[in-house]
Amino acid sequence: MTESPSIHSIGEFVLSVPSLRQAEHFYTSFGLGVREEGNHLSLRAACGDHRWGRVVERERKFLHHVTFHCFEEDLPRFKSRLENSGIRLLDPPAEFGSDGLWFRGHDGILMEIRVGPKTSPDEISEVKPPSYEAGVRNAPYRRLAQKVEIQRLSHILLFTTGIDKAIEFYTNVLGLRLSDRSADVVAFLHAVHGSDHHIVAFAQSDRPGLHHVSWIVPSVDQIGLGAMAMTDQGYKKSWGTGRHVLGSNYFHYIQDPWGSWCEYACGIDYIPACMDWVGKDHPLEDGFYLWGPDVPPEFVVNVESENG
């Protein structure tokens, strides 16, 4: 048991959108397993049966809530911490009943902490190198190209009204630690039980919202194949391919039908359990990306009208 309670993983995110049919097409094209379950869609990766996300139909797109997982012994400790911090515990939303702790974050985003499996990895996720043999053609015909194989969710990036307040809330209440930041523009946080360089990240905005959800694929080749398949399906607004500096991962972002983004990622840095990683403040122009195309202006726009 750690000194103080800390969540170890993102259990799932729940997004509300105006059209489930549109969501089904987008996420299926992206490479996720999409199932209709009751009145929502569930999102799963190619590996395992964990439900990483749900999509519900509402009038507008917004991040409905995020569920974080903790170990069993930490749940009562979280309850005490929330009560001692003056954070009001809420009843679960009608269709999402559970035995978790429900409350709102520093800028109103609804969240839940519940006991659940550690979905964050216990070791670094390796990047599969391309295989090359002499004397043969190593690339397949385009029509035989592999379908993208999403392994798991890596992180979510949220817009926040205050980077410092976000860091304070997510470290003091959820028990995450700061991995790195760039001034008051972006910040990245990891879990102390071993996780990717960031499981939650923040970008400054004038209101809360969801910027992107990031999904791990096994190779840079798969990032390219996924990006091409999405273009073929009509999802042409993107940023990438490139490589970040903070997190080190290769990336390609595809804009979803509602103006937020889905990221294909591989090669993200890993922070082992109990490591004393020293979070630093990096110049934005050095830390954002090592290489890649110019950032499209729509990439940094918060399209969420208000928090639901």
| Positions that interact with Fe ion (CB under 5 A) | 214, 263
H or E segment and range at residue 21: helix 20-30
Q: Which is nearer to Fe ion, 78 or 261 (CB)?
A: 261
For the bound state, the minimum distance from the C-beta of residue 29 to Fe ion, rounded and expressed in Å, comes to 19
For the bound state, the minimum distance from the C-beta of residue 293 to Fe ion, rounded and expressed in Å, comes to 16
Q: Say if CB 230 and CB 30 are below 8 A apart.
A: yes
Q: Which is nearer to Fe ion, 214 or 241 (CB)?
A: 214
For the bound state, the minimum distance from the C-beta of residue 78 to Fe ion, rounded and expressed in Å, comes to 26
d(CA 257, CA 18): 10
Residues 6+ apart with CB under 8 A from 144: none
- Backbone φ and ψ for 75, nearest 5 degrees, come out as -60, -50
DSSP 69-105: EE-GGGHHHHHHHHHHTTPPPBPPPGGG--SSEEEE-
Q: Which is nearer to Fe ion, 78 or 170 (CB)?
A: 170
Q: Which is nearer to Fe ion, 174 or 200 (CB)?
A: 200
Q: Which is nearer to Fe ion, 16 or 214 (CB)?
A: 214
Q: Which is nearer to Fe ion, 180 or 263 (CB)?
A: 263
For the bound state, the minimum distance from the C-beta of residue 248 to Fe ion, rounded and expressed in Å, comes to 11
DSSP 22-50: HHHHHHHHHT-EEEEETTEEEEE-SSSS-
Residue 158 DSSP SS3:
strand
For the bound state, the minimum distance from the C-beta of residue 263 to Fe ion, rounded and expressed in Å, comes to 5
Q: How many CB atoms lie within 10 A of CB 18?
A: 13
Q: Say if CB 27 and CB 43 are below 8 A apart.
A: yes
For the bound state, the minimum distance from the C-beta of residue 198 to Fe ion, rounded and expressed in Å, comes to 8
Q: Residue number with the shortest CB distance to Fe ion?
A: 214
For the bound state, the minimum distance from the C-beta of residue 129 to Fe ion, rounded and expressed in Å, comes to 22
Closest CA to 288 of 156, 186, 152: 186
Q: Which is nearer to Fe ion, 256 or 263 (CB)?
A: 263
